[in-house]
Amino acid sequence: MNGIRGIIFDCDGVLFESRKANLAYYNTILGLLNESPVEESDHARAHLCHTAASPQVFAQLLGEERTPGALALAADLDYRQFIQYMQPEPGMIEALSQLAGSYPLAVATNRGCSMLSILEHFGLNDFFHAVVTSRDVTHPKPAPDMLHEAARRLQYATHELLFVGDSELDQAAARMAGMPFAVYRGDLQADVRLEHHGELVEMFIKDVAKGA
């Protein structure tokens, strides 16, 4: 793609299929609070657990007053027990290994401290120049804060970076940041549509080869 100098990835639904892990995580905390679990069939609440940052999830599931207590329980929970439920998206690791040789890569996710444990578990740390989570910014997605922070760390303007996401939160963050948006396996309006990670390799490594 002309003018793109680096690529930023969302985590859930883009790098990993993580719905099972997310529901297990939130349902463990809900169980500790004697609340009913979120079922996969409850699409709206399950989608919330998959896309939003924990403060927003708990605020909607439990109410603002009970959110601090839920976050305190979450802080004492070791997320590594849920990583076993996460599945890398097909071709993702291979694509990152090829892209990282030519482009700076970053992660921008509404996850918190679990992101670093996930990258370490799957051996992905060395692929990314920057990892921005909800703990690094004042406002999580759909606010543009973390995309601005990722751009700052990569030392490029937002319009020089492509953000790969899968949710309406990702779409809104990219739009407000003035960053080109690629939707991964979705129907959202976007500058680029991707069905598999190999398409990024075809798109960007081909561009590098042409310029060689």
pLDDT per position as a tens digit, 92-131: 999 999 999 999 999 999 999 899 999 999 999 999 999 9
Burial tier of 64 (Cβ tally within 10 Å: 0-12, 13-18, 19+):
exposed
The confidence score (pLDDT) of residue 39 equals 95
Fold adopted by 6-17+86-211: Rossmann fold (3.40.50)
Residue whose structure tokens are 């892990």? 21
Torsion, Cα 11 17 19 24, to 10 degrees, reads -90
Task: Write out residues in the chain with pLDDT < 50, as ranges.
Answer: 209-212
Q: What pLDDT does residue 212 have?
A: 42
Q: Where are the domains of the chain?
A: 6-17+86-211, 19-84
